[in-house]
Structure 1
Amino acid sequence: MSKYGVDYRTKTGKGIVRADGFSVGSVTAPKAVVSTTVTFDPPSLATGAFAVSSGITVTGSALGDNVELYPPYDTDGVIYQGSVSAANTIKISLINTNGSTKDLASGAWGVVVKRRV
């Protein structure tokens, strides 16, 4: 016990902290379950505007999966995020943080879906 309370570090003073019954050994790393491309044509976005795509089919995606997106160009201040909205379906959310209207081109966006398996 240190003068500041319980020292939860490992005996070497380095490594993973284990506290409150949480055990790092039982956590699994996410694994890619889908890697593909989808054609996506983002709408024109005024400054500060937000948009969500309609459903895009990505076979193998499931609720709770993590979606990573890789646009085919510089998005120039447009922030994007992918999420699974239903089995085999993702949606892409966009917000324009740039000082002017942005109309990104249609293109083949890379999609990687990860899941803890």
Structure 2
Amino acid sequence: MPNNGADFRGLGANAGNGIVYADGFAGAGGVVGPKTIINTTITFDPPSLATGAIAVSSGITLTGTALGDHVELYPPYDTQGIAVQAQASAANTIVISLHNRSAGTVDLASGTWGVVVKRRV
């Protein structure tokens, strides 16, 4: 790898420590890390999904959510090979995307899912 003069091992007192300063996350003013905006639960009943199938839920109201927020889901059980992802789709609304990566049809039960919404402030 050519040396273009960039040294990412740290600066000043952190020289050689492997600390990289990017976008203000590592201290000194500016941007701070994401802040938890919402920590709650929702009742969600995923559809039955055949192998390879993808489904997106209808909008789920989650007051306080804004476009660009990071949405984390915590299912109440083993998702049996179903990949789950959520995103804010509009103000106060999230959608959940599911992808069955298993070798058979999976029908997950309705349950109480944990939801955490974070926002970069």
TM-score by length of 2: 0.84
AA in 1 matched with 2:11: T
AA in 2 matched with 1:4: N
1:73 aligned onto 2:63 = no
- Once the two structures are overlaid, the 10-residue window that deviates more, 8-17 or 81-90, is 8-17
AA in 2 matched with 1:107: G
**Superposition deviation, residue 114 in structure 1:** 0.2
| Equivalent position of 1:10 in the other structure | 11
1:85 aligned onto 2:95 = no
1:38 match: secondary structure: strand
Where does the alignment leave 5 or more consecutive residues of structure 2 unmatched?
Answer: none
**Superposition deviation, residue 72 in structure 1:** 0.5
Partners of 2:76 and 2:93 lie apart in 1 by 20
**Superposition deviation, residue 44 in structure 1:** 0.3
Number of equivalenced pairs: 113
AA in 1 matched with 2:111: G
AA in 2 matched with 1:110: G
Aligned residues: percent identity? 62
Where does the alignment leave 5 or more consecutive residues of structure 1 unmatched?
Answer: none
Partners of 2:42 and 2:67 lie apart in 1 by 19
**Superposition deviation, residue 18 in structure 1:** 5.1
Q: Could you say if the C-alpha distance between residues 13 and 65 of structure 1 is closer, same or farther in structure 2, counting changes exceeding 3 Å?
A: same
Partners of 2:3 and 2:108 lie apart in 1 by 54
1:107 aligned onto 2:106 = no
**Superposition deviation, residue 88 in structure 1:** 0.5
1:28 match: secondary structure: coil
Deviations 1:66-110 (A, max 9, x none): 000000100010000000000000000000000000000000110
TM-score by length of 1: 0.87
**Superposition deviation, residue 4 in structure 1:** 3.1
Alignment of 1:35-50 (within 5 A): 35-50=39-54
Root-mean-square deviation over aligned CA pairs: 1.9
**Superposition deviation, residue 23 in structure 1:** 4.8
